[in-house]
Amino acid sequence: MAKTNDSIQHATDTTQQAHDSVAQFTPLYPDGIPAVQGNDSVVSHLADLPVMESPKGTASVTHSRGPLYDTSSMSLLLMSMFFIVVSFKRGYVYLENFAHNLFSVRRRRENAFDNHTMSDVRMMWALIFNTCVMEGLLLFYAVGHFVPSLWHGMLENVGLNVGALTAMCLGFHLCQHALYATLGYVFGDTVSRRLWISGFKASQSLLGLLLFPVTALLLLFPAAIELLLSIAAVLYALVRIVFVFKGLRIFFNKFSQSLYFILYLCSVEIVPLVIFAMLLVAICTQLQS
């Protein structure tokens, strides 16, 4: 019996010692096992993690606007090219006669080159329309460059401005044609008038072909506007000089007529161009108001 009591007492003491050891247990790492620096790049203290900085934005850059990004302007350009391609199949003869129409002053009443077929007329007007479109696009940049106050407003509605400028160029061409026809009728005969008008039509047709690469470069590289506009102005001047020289050979064959030639240059070639430029700026200003 005494042996049994000793066993019970020993078990009780053992249980008491285990309870005391559990009660007095203090964890070695109360905040968790620390990460070993340099051995694990993923497990680390929150304080050591990089803090994401607030994103710093830059000023917004406005998307380039101009005829190249305008559907109406590009449709107008593609339309002019389409007319040329469609008319070329049967109207290529008109292109072959460019040199004759530009320079020839041979006074023959029956001239095969003067008897234009319907295909030649269609080709001629396709080229003239192309010239007006090229001039309209170039003038869009020219007005914005030389009159900066209108540039922002013109960019707001590119198609309307390009269309208006193209229409003005076409109207200016028709006015010039009517003026030359009237002067040829008053101061010349039928053959002289026909030679002069054919030279004007040919020069206008050729001008669009010469301005096409300049216009394409200006659409792609508007930063080179000063150089490209200068080239376009030189090409326009050269074509006009060729036409004026042909008129000089037709109507002014005496040195005593030099005064009349000077009056012709001022009243027919220079003054209408100045009036057209002033009207151009006025209409562009009105469109932006």
pLDDT for res 112: 47
Residues of the chain with pLDDT under 70: 1-64, 107-116, 255-257
User: According to the model, what pLDDT value does residue 30 have?
Assistant: 67
pLDDT digits (tens, 9 = 90+) for 82-134: 999 998 887 778 887 888 888 887 766 544 445 567 888 899 999 999 999 99
Q: How many CB atoms lie within 10 A of CB 90?
A: 14
Q: What is the pLDDT of residue 101?
A: 84
pLDDT for the residue 92: 77
Say what the pLDDT of residue 57 is.
59
Supply the pTM of this predicted model: 0.75
| pLDDT, position 272 | 93
> How many Cα atoms are found within 13 Å in the side-chain-facing hemisphere of 39?
3
pLDDT at 105: 78
Beta strands in 100-172 (DSSP E): none
pLDDT at 28: 65
Residue type, 149: S
Q: Please give the pLDDT value at position 58.
A: 63
Residue 133 and residue 245: Cα distance in Å, rounded?
26
State residue 89's pLDDT score: 80
**How crowded is residue 130: how many other Cβ atoms within 10 Å of its Cβ?**
23
**Could you count the other beta carbons within 10 Å of the beta carbon of residue 138?**
23
Q: Which CA distances in Å does 5 have to 1, 14, 16, 17?
A: 6, 14, 17, 18
